[in-house]
Amino acid sequence: MNEFIEAQVSFGWEDLRSSYDVVIVGGGGHGLSTAYHLATRHGITNVAVLERGYIGSGNSGRNTTIIRANYGIPEAVRFYQRSVDLYSRLEEETGRWIMHDRKGLLWLVHGTPGTRHERARSIVNQAFGADTVYVTPEEVRQICPDVDLNAGGGEFRVTGGSYSPHAATARHDRVVWALAEGAMKRGVHVHQRAAVTGLLKSGDRVTGVLTDRGPVAAGVVVSAVGGHVSTLAAMAGVRLPIRTHPLQAFVTNHYARSFRPIVASAGMGFYVSQTPRGEMLLGSAIDRQPSYSYRSSYEFLSYCSLPAVTLLPFLRNLTILRQWAGVCDMSVDMSPIMGYTGVDGFLVTTGWGTWGFKGIPAGGEQMAELIATDRTPELIAPFSLNRFKEDRLLFDPGSTGTTH
Amino acid sequence: MVLRLDCPHCGSRPVEEWVYGEVPDPPDYLTGAEERDVDRGFMMSNTEGARQERWFHAGGCRRWQTIGRDTTV
């Protein structure tokens, strides 16, 4: 069997039409998920997804594929738990193997404030539908014997943590292609190598997009753009509370043993999981100043590796195989922004920062409902762009898994 | 090799000594006092390309300096 999912999917590529009911800019997970849910849940198929590169070539193909709902605020727990539930049904629904693997996540802390925080997280999670529990150091050892509970000679002693059995990983390009296929089978057009260069406007209203293949009229334009979103939004006259920061990650060579849970330590500033190929996949903090550069750095390898080998000593014996970077649309309160923008005909699903992959199914489902009904669904109402003006920020930096 | 910057007070120093900072830049078309305040507080141009920023030399002379930077390279 050909391992490349592109070779398995069955659909044809269509020519770009001059008009669609919905034009989605950005063929990543969120853009394709919105199209998929428009087609499957609402029968809206006169839809185009425009992607400047190839689908999944942005952050959807550069993330660390972690799916979890262990957030610290009710709005986020509810939203991400919906996404966790949709992910667990996605293989059955699409008929495509996305390599969904429910392996659990250990979120470790080193000291009293962290311990208190994880107790609070567990309570908030359970109250709003996620199965996160507080764990003692002894339980940490049972779940993941590789963790050095006395890490760094006691400097990073593990004092507890939280465990989320629901957490999973999935193969990111399979998710992208499964959603693309599901949408295209039902009549949605996905156009690769179709760059949006401007917006068509009539008065204050956005009425379509300009592409390098000509203008395309649209009933509604949805920005599902990643790091470059501010540039597109500026064309519509929309200001966003977003800075674009690079996020880097790397994988090691093959580790011969199975490493089951995802392990994260916000205090030490890294997280790790094992890919289906057996590589250890590590991520850490975003680059500290905003940038659109995809450059990888030695500095990142060094500041990510040191805490990793301190907490998980077996990693010392592995070597780094490759590294990469993505440019992330970081919202100022570290929560996504979905819905209306104040400009008619222009919607956004943005601010997905370093937490976008896990939100793909629910983000697309909710945006599709918003487009189809022209009403903001209750689940994503708190995530509107208006929250900044109304001083209802959803500040939850401790749950993003990276340090900021 | 770490990137070095020329500080007018301290000479050539590693870039890690500076702390990134920026200047609020509400666009001219925002005229209401409140919408300008909201913009100054939360929004940013997030410019792709050349831009002017204010960096703080925390590990050196502890002065704010205007630094030009191209965010695409």
pLDDT tens column, A135-183? 999 999 999 999 999 999 999 999 999 999 999 999 999 999 999 999 9
- Listed residue (A233, A180, A205) closest to A48, CA to CA: A180
Query: In which domain, by residue range, is A186 found?
Result: 5-63+172-242+336-399
Pair A13, A146 in one domain: no
Region of A96 please: left (phi>0), alpha (psi -120 to 50) or beta.
beta
pLDDT tens column, A58-69? 999 999 999 999
Within a domain: A91? no
B35 contacts on A by Cβ (under 8 Å): 389
Secondary structure of residue A356 in the 3-state scheme: coil
Q: What's the domain count of chain A? A: 2
State how far the Cα of B13 lies from the Cα of A378, in Å rounded to an integer. 52
Pair A249, A318 in one domain: yes
Secondary structure of residue A83 in the 3-state scheme: helix
Q: Are A263 and A147 in contact (CB under 8 A)?
A: yes
Pair A312, A264 in one domain: yes
Pair A276, A323 in one domain: yes
Pair A343, A319 in one domain: no
Pair A233, A352 in one domain: yes
Instruction: Work out the angle at residue A82's Cα, subtended by the Cα atoms of residues A78 and A86, and round it to the nearest 5 degrees.
Output: 170
**Superfamily (CATH) of domain B4-70:** Folate-binding superfamily (3.30.2270.10)
| DSSP secondary structure letter of residue A382 | G
Pair A251, A325 in one domain: yes
Helices (H), A97-205: 112-127, 137-143, 172-185
Smallest Cα distance from B26 to chain A, Å: 9
Q: How confident is the model at residue A285 (pLDDT cuts 50, 70, 90)?
A: confident
Is A290 in Cβ contact with B43 (below 8 Å)?
A: no
Pair A327, A203 in one domain: no
Pair A260, A225 in one domain: no
Name the CA radius of gyration of chain B, rounded. 15
Pair A352, A368 in one domain: yes
CATH number at residue A287: 3.30.9.10
Give the pTM.
0.95
Q: Are A128 and A117 in contact (CB under 8 A)?
A: no
Beta bridge partners of B44: A240
pLDDT of residue A404 exceeding 60, the answer is no
ipTM: 0.93
CATH number at residue A190: 3.50.50.60
Which pLDDT score, from 0 to 100, does residue A1 have? 45
Q: Are A226 and A327 in contact (CB under 8 A)?
A: yes
Which pLDDT score, from 0 to 100, does residue A398 have? 80
Pair A341, A228 in one domain: yes
A52, A197, A201, A239: best mutation site toward chain B, by most B Cβ within 10 Å? A239
Average pLDDT over residues A31-51: 98
